[in-house]
Chains A and B, each alone.
Chain A
Amino acid sequence: MTIGLTHLLVLAAALFGIGTYGVLSRKSAVMVLMSLELMANAVNINLVAFSRFVTPEAMTGQFFAVFSMVVSAAEIGLGLALVLAIYRQKRSVELEEFQELKG
């Protein structure tokens, strides 16, 4: 059985689903950020797979994946800095503690 584009897409969809579950269900801010990284990686797999199968010469998807990595690295750095800043005020990283905006 040959491995085709669909296999990679299914793998990426499954990883993305697990990441979605983590983002929606975890109560620790750090775990939510880790699940977000998982989702970003699943998207990158899609980009690279399409690039390899559809436009292998142009490598467009690979460049998109590089820039997506840059953005998600920036996002994770800022997110973790935010977690640290909030931790300094609340002494906690539980998302349930951050409810100032709740009406």
Chain B
Amino acid sequence: MTDSLPAVAFWLLAAAALGGAIMMMVTRNVVHAAFWLMEVMTAIAGIYLLLSAEFLALVQVLVYAGAVSVLMLFVIMLTLRRREDAIRSFEPGWGGAALAALFTGVILAALTRFEPTIALMPDVAPGIEEFGREMFTFWILPFEIASLVLLTALVGAVWWAGGGERE
């Protein structure tokens, strides 16, 4: 690894992520939007790989590009009565667009004044073994709490989504 990211790979992945996100907003078909979201997630996994976060890239593909997108598709399919319902009417939402543009503009303006103390990428990047060791020593308590959060969310999701004849 040199002291900077591979430029070509970064530009390709950034274009894929941004283009996918824009297409997700442009398309009027909800199913297409879910697939564009999947593409964005995969491009972000590539960016994690560039940043030598291999574990995060794997988790990104498994959780976001895999599980979350499939969950989205399931809910879209379950809540559509006809195939034509997937095509939505044009919703520009100018107010929302203005607010989002303002917000992004402020952040970008702040970033132009931002001078990172470390302009070049440090050479050292611990591998996945070091990550696992840290995870199960220093971060063990947050890890267990995260497991509890996921368990609670699982039970809650089943409780909400299932059991239609309860009431």
Contacts and interface: CB of A to CB of B under 8 A. Distances in A.
Interface of A: 1-11, 13-28, 30-31, 33-34, 37-38, 41, 44-45, 48-49, 51-54, 56-59, 62-63, 65-67, 69-71, 73-78, 80-85, 87-88, 91, 93
Interface in B21-54: 21-22, 24-25, 30, 33-34, 37, 40-41, 44, 47-48, 51-53
Contacts of B142: 63, 67
B75 A83 contact: yes
Contact of A5 (B53, B118, B124): B118
Contacts of B97: 21, 24-25
Interface residues of B, number: 85
A90 to B, nearest CB: 10
Contacts of A57: 124, 126
28 contacts: A2-B120, A8-B47, A9-B114, A14-B18, A14-B104, A15-B18, A15-B21, A20-B104, A21-B96, A21-B97, A23-B96, A24-B99, A30-B30, A45-B44, A48-B53, A56-B125, A58-B134, A59-B131, A63-B139, A65-B56, A73-B153, A77-B71, A78-B157, A80-B71, A80-B157, A84-B161, A85-B161, A88-B164
Contacts of A71: 146, 149
Interface in B49-93: 51-53, 55-56, 59-60, 63-64, 67-68, 71-72, 75-76, 78-79, 81, 88, 91-93
B118 A84 contact: no
A27 B22 CA distance: 17
Interface of B: 3-7, 10, 14, 17-18, 21-22, 24-25, 30, 33-34, 37, 40-41, 44, 47-48, 51-53, 55-56, 59-60, 63-64, 67-68, 71-72, 75-76, 78-79, 81, 88, 91-93, 95-97, 99-101, 103-104, 107-108, 111, 114, 116-122, 124-126, 130-131, 134-135, 139, 142, 146, 149-150, 152-154, 156-161, 164
Given A3-B4, A5-B116, A48-B56, A76 B25 contact: no
